[in-house]
Every structure is written in C-alpha cells, then in structure tokens.
C-alpha cells in the first residue's frame, strides 16, 4: 500500500486523457496558468500599494518626520 509505481501513473494518465481529451486538458492548463499569472500580478500590485502607503504615512514638518497613527 505505499506509493504507486510508474505503471500505475501511466494508466491513470491514459484514463484521464481518454476521458477529457487533449484539447480540454490544454484549455484547463491555460486557464490555470492565467489564474496563477493574475494572482501574481495582484500580489505585486498589493505589495506596491502597501509600500506607497508606508511612504505616505509619514509627513515632513520643518525637517521633522512624524508618523501618523492608524486607528
């Protein structure tokens, strides 16, 4: 009952290809890839906006830097 051998995985792959077909599997792959790319872009954008928020949270008054407190 441990791990499957390579023959088990090949049979599973063959059954999946027979059930779904190569075109549908290709579409699923591109959809998943697009979702991952969108997620990465959103994380980068969120990171960029949080850095801008950190910069805008401090103000300069006659050379002094004071931190605004978030409530």
Whole-angstrom Cα Rg for the chain: 25
Place of tokens 């979702």: 35
User: What pLDDT is attached to residue 66?
Assistant: 58
The pLDDT, as a whole number, for residue 40 is 94
Cα 2 to Cα 5, 11, 17, 38: the distances in Å are: 9, 17, 25, 37
Check: CB of residue 66 under 8 Å from CB of residue 59: yes
Instruction: State residue 30's pLDDT score.
Output: 92
* Per-run averaged pLDDT (10 residues), the chain, 71 residues: 82 92 89 94 84 59 58 54
> pTM for the full model?
0.48
- Say what the pLDDT of residue 3 is: 78
Exposure string of 8-22, with b = 16+ CB inside 10 Å and e = fewer, is: eeeeeeeeeeeeeee
At 47 the pLDDT is: 81
């Amino acid at each position: 009952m441990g791990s499957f051998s390579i023959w088990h995985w090949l049979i599973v792959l063959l059954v999946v290809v027979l059930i779904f077909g190569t075109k549908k599997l290709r579409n699923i792959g591109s959809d998943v890839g697009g979702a991952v790319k969108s997620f990465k872009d959103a994380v980068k954008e969120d990171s960029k906006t949080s850095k801008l928020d950190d910069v805008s949270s401090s103000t300069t008054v006659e050379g002094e830097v004071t931190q605004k407190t978030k409530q």
